[in-house]
């Protein structure tokens, strides 16, 4: 029998991971490649992205997530390519996920394009028993544990310069990250994502973009993120979002140069968990390289 402290740690990991199976991001609208492979190359530039998120600050074992990604169109073809790495730490566990994305885009009108994407993923899950505090220090069942699991996913993304809608399933295969006597304690379930957003020009200097992300997992509550962002003078962004029955968020961003954008987000829980932490912080950088003949004249909102 594993000790109660190990079961508690794994139950905590399982509950967190079951609620947010894939790593959770407040500023998902800038990090679409992680959930939808059809996004690869859609910005028409070599786009490099890095994000760091520390969740539920002050709560021991709370999630800490880092991600880096790159996506780009391939020459003059309709193909797009993306690669990403996510490092997700929760309590005594660490997950490293490496993904490769390939997209193909079909113009559907003068302003709209329809992209199809496939994702190949490799996941490495590790349990570090040294981070536990067992009742019986010599318990032979408390051992380090590692497992590797591959997966595949797909998505579609219909977009213009002013709007987008997408649907994706990043992982088609359900896998057990950790099991005890053939009973799955930590299981990766299939997630379904539906995203959408619009950009409105309120006047010559202000743009407004509402956006939504809906996440569905079998056996878990529906997750809905609704956001409203304003961009001023194509330089400064200010926004807020609400994660249904979970958190309120504030977001700011700044277009430092034509290629460099930096953003920050803060989450405050709306559940009883708010009594045990001081919120969540998220910061990201995006840097893009444009060809001279396709450089965008104003920053894209997504």
Record the tokens describing residue 132, joined without a space.
């536990």
Could you tell me which residue, 144 or 53, shows the higher pLDDT? 53
Which comes out higher in pLDDT, residue 142 or 95? 95
Integer CA distances (angstroms), 125 to 73, 98, 150, 196, 296, in order: 31, 12, 11, 31, 40
What pLDDT shows up at residue 17?
42
% of the chain surpassing 90 pLDDT: 64
- pLDDT surpassing 80 at residue 118: yes
What is the per-residue pLDDT across 267-286, written as a single tens digit (0 to 9) for each? 999 999 899 999 999 999 99
Q: Higher pLDDT residue, 128 or 121?
A: 121
Which of 53-57, 151-155, 219-223, 283-287 bottoms out in mean pLDDT, i.e. has the lowest? Answer: 219-223
Report, as an integer, the average pLDDT of 164-188.
75
193 vs 143: which has the higher pLDDT:
193
pTM for the model stands at 0.86
**Could you count the other beta carbons within 10 Å of the beta carbon of residue 232?**
11
Q: Which domains does the chain have, with CATH numbers?
A: 23-133+146-291 (2.40.160.40)
Chain mean pLDDT for the chain: 86
Model confidence at 13, pLDDT cuts 50, 70, 90, reads very low
Q: Which region among 42-46, 210-214, 219-223 has the lowest average model confidence (pLDDT)?
A: 219-223
pLDDT value at residue 142: 65
Lowest mean pLDDT among 126-130, 145-149, 168-172, 268-272: 126-130
Q: Per-residue confidence at 131, pLDDT binned at 50, 70, 90?
A: confident
Summarize pLDDT for 51-78 with one digit per residue, the tens.
999 999 999 889 999 999 999 999 888 9
Q: Which residue has better confidence, 146 or 186?
A: 146
- Confidence check: pLDDT of 134 > 70: no
pLDDT of the residue at 144: 79
Instruction: Fill in the DSSP letter of residue 23.
Output: P
Whether the Cβ atoms of residue 92 and residue 128 lie closer than 8 Å to each other: yes
Nearest alpha-carbon partner for 166 in 77, 273, 33? 33
SS3 state of residue 5: helix
pLDDT of residue 290: 77
């Amino acid at each position: 029998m594993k000790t109660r402290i190990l079961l508690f740690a794994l139950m905590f990991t399982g509950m967190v991971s079951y609620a947010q199976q894939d790593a959770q991001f407040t500023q998902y609208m800038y990090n679409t490649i992680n959930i939808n492979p059809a996004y690869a190359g859609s910005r028409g530039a070599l786009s490099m992205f890095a994000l760091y998120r520390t969740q539920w600050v002050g709560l021991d074992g709370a999630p800490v997530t880092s991600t880096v990604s790159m996506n780009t169109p391939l020459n003059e073809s309709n193909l797009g390519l993306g690669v990403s790495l996510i490092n997700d730490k929760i309590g005594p566990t660490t997950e490293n996920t490496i993904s490769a994305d390939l997209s193909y885009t079909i113009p559907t009108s003068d302003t709209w394009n329809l992209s199809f994407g496939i994702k190949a993923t490799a996941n490495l899950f590790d349990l570090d028993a040294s981070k536990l505090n067992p009742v019986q220090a010599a318990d032979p069942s408390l051992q380090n544990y590692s497992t590797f699991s591959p997966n595949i996913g797909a998505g579609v993304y219909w977009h213009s310069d002013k709007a987008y809608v997408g649907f994706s399933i990043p992982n088609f295969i359900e896998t057990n990250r950790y099991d005890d006597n053939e009973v799955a304690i930590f299981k990766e379930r299939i997630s379904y994502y539906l995203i959408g957003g619009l950009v409105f020009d309120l006047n010559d200097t202000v743009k407004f973009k509402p956006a939504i992300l809906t996440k569905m997992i079998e056996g878990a509550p529906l997750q809905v993120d609704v956001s409203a962002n304003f961009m001023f003078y194509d330089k400064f962004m200010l926004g807020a979002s609400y994660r249904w029955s979970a958190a309120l968020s504030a977001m700011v961003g700044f277009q430092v140069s034509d290629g460099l954008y930096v953003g920050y987000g803060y989450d405050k829980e709306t559940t009883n968990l708010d009594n045990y932490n001081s919120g969540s912080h998220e910061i990201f950088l995006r840097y893009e390289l444009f060809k001279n003949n396709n450089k965008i004249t104003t920053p894209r909102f997504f």
